[in-house]
Amino acid sequence: MKVTSYIQGKWLKEGSESDLISAINEEPIAQLVDAEIDYRSALEYGRTIGGPALRKLTIHERAFKIKFLAAYLMERKEKHYKLSSHTGATRKDSWIDIEGGYGSMFVLSSKARRELSDLPFHVEGGTERLSRGGTFVGQHICVPKHGIAVHINAFNFPVWGMVEKLAPAIMAGQPCIIKPSPVGSYLAYEVFKDIIESEILPEGSVQFIAADKPGDLLDHLNSQDSVSFTGSATTGKKLKSHPNIVANSIQFNMEADSLNASILGPDVTPDMEEFDLFVKEVGMEMTVKAGQKCTAIRRTIVPRERIEDVSEALKNFLSKTTIGDPTDKDTRMGPLASSLQSQRFDEQLAVLEDVTDSIFSNGTHEHEGAFTSPKVLVCHQPMKVDKVHEIEAFGPMTTIMPYDSTEEATQLANKSDGSLVASLFTADDDIATEITLGCAPYHGRFMVINKYSAGESTGHGSPMPHMVHGGPGRAGGGEELGGARAVLHNMQRIALQGSPTTLMNIVKQHIKGAETKEAPKHPFQMYFEELEVGQSLLSDIRKVKDQDVEDFANLSGDHFYAHTDPDAASRSLFGKIVAHGYFVLSAAAGQFVHPDEGPVLLNYGLENLAFLAPVAPGDTIQTKLIVKRKTVRQQREMDLFPFGVVYWDVEVKNQDDVLVAEYTILTLVKRKNKLDIDLI
């Protein structure tokens, strides 16, 4: 296999070649073809070809492409698994990288389509009223940048690390240039080749660098570009301080390896489920991917009186770890990613062994080269020995550290000055509260486990696409994933200011106070494509009667005194009987709903309901229905019709033109036309 660069829509097949080595047998698995790349032209190609093509699409259209791409890659996963074994990964290890990566694409796509605007940009939050009369308002929106997202990825997760960055950038409308680590690049290359062969993404939206180093790539970035780096803190800091990055204030996101910790609560004894769960978690984090995870547990923090118990239980767990060929189903831990990584692991471990006691080394394997074995160290004075909080041996190891109080446990967890994740195993929620809040500022994620959550826990070392991934300080200070946030990380947030009508026309979403226009016919008789933002219906006027309030109380069973007891109501905030808020809501629906069959299929949601003023018998109400925004929904096999979601603003006013209630309803509305996304 030749691992080549894909630049400006072409594979660069000529260049200096070097062998890429299998971690299993140290034999060449592929050749890296390091070509001469004109990075200035590559960046310009992405900006002028890929960028405009992506920006023509809405966020939802881009998200559908990511969904379909994930499905395409998932169908080809077995060949990815086959290559992954040469990185030293067992089938279980590879599942995290491969299917975990494609699963992340599915989740991020779904979250974007559920939570972000079906527009080329995202309308964020509500409108801010900036003037007394409401004629000058503000609205935040997030727009695609006119630049390139450069992704410099680590060796330990060639697939997940690539697609979890690529997916949100593409959905944000930003083309990508991907630079994988040479170690394991043959796997990233195979997946990337499938991405190109799928022809799902627009031309120019992705490029791939097969090289040891990125040359002068960073020299040609501008303020519209961004860099996302995963790897060692040392390399990350070097790249982040690149003169061009600093000079042009180029967005730089860093996710660095960190000295993550797991804490055993002082309440946990060896006979409790939480004890066994803790030991298993530490052991698993040491051996999954041979400990080559940026989230692995490097520091195992336990009550001083539990050192012996934890040590023995952990040694017992690790002694059952079979080390060998990762393609063997009985193997629980394969080799490190390369002999160089093994050498570095040994060097870092030697530094730690100078300040700790080594209590376990599983030497049951007979292999050499990149293979190693789990190591357990103990540092008896962790508050005084700084190296155990500074030096990371990137492999299957952990250091046990004792504490004498919950305050000290928190201090130890925070002593590494920033990590991606920490975890706590306790059955006591008071302890959980104290330690969690004490640790929170120093860690990007904090997992609290007891016997009730353990069964469905995804684990200490598993960043989930729904939740943010990153951490302060040593962990890089960056943030990835986090559901729809992942997309917004790649966009430019801008504050718009102007009249409500002008801003409505810009953002394609109704804004309170904007001019509306009467719909040509009842909106519930109009198809999805016919409805326009700002179209409205003003209902007839209805007078509220005493009998209405009494009947609603009897029908609903809501006999609250303010609606039913004149004497008690006279002492209420209103001073008299008032109608139920939900009566007003129901009566308003009766004013705007069209009774006949039509394109509106059903009402399936209501948002931001507020009752703003009381309605009493004798008052009148009038309702205005306004098309707020629209979202296309993919037609699936079980759907009888193609449809979209329409969000309607509802305003209910009384005889004095006072707003008494407002809310947004969501309806499914038939589409006239099928789209490319339907039934895929």
Q: Tell me the C-alpha distance between 138 and 128, whole Å.
A: 5
CA distance 287 to 504: 55
Chain-centre distance for alpha carbon 390: 28
Query: DSSP of 630-659, one letter per residue?
Result: EEE----TT-SS-EEEEEEEEEEEETTS-E
Q: Report which DSSP code applies to 333.
A: B
Q: At a CB cut-off of 8 Å and minimum separation 6, what does 162 contact?
A: 101, 151, 153, 178, 180, 188, 191, 192
Residue 663 burial by Cβ neighbours in a 10 Å radius (0-12, 13-18, 19+): middle
Buried b (16+ CB within 10 A) or exposed e, 437-462: ebbeebbbbbbbbbeeebeeeebbbb
Active-site hit among 255, 274, 285, 479: 255
Q: Which residue from 141, 150, 158 is spatially nearest to 178, judged by alpha carbons?
A: 150
Give the H or E element holding residue 59.
helix 59-74
Q: SS3 for 201?
A: coil
Pairing between β-strand 620-632 and β-strand 643-654 as defined by DSSP bridges = antiparallel
Would you give the end-to-end CA distance of the chain in angstroms?
Answer: 33
DSSP string, 87-150: GT--HHHHHHHHHHHHHHHHHHHHHHHHHS-SSSSEEEEEEEE-STTSSSEEEEEEEE-SS-EE
Element (H, E) at 16: strand 16-21
Q: Is 494 helix (H, G, I), strand (E, B) or coil?
A: strand
Task: Give yes or no: 255 in active site.
Answer: yes
Backbone phi, then psi, for 63, in 5-degree steps?
-65, -40
CA distance 630 to 532: 9
Distance CA 169, CA 151 (A): 10
Catalytic residue among 294, 379, 651, 662: 294
Phi, psi of 129 (to 5 degrees): -80, 120
Q: What is the length of the chain?
A: 680
- 450 Cβ neighbours under 8 A, 6+ residues apart: 273, 274, 425, 426, 427
| Known catalytic membership, residue 294 | yes
Residues tagged active-site: 255, 294
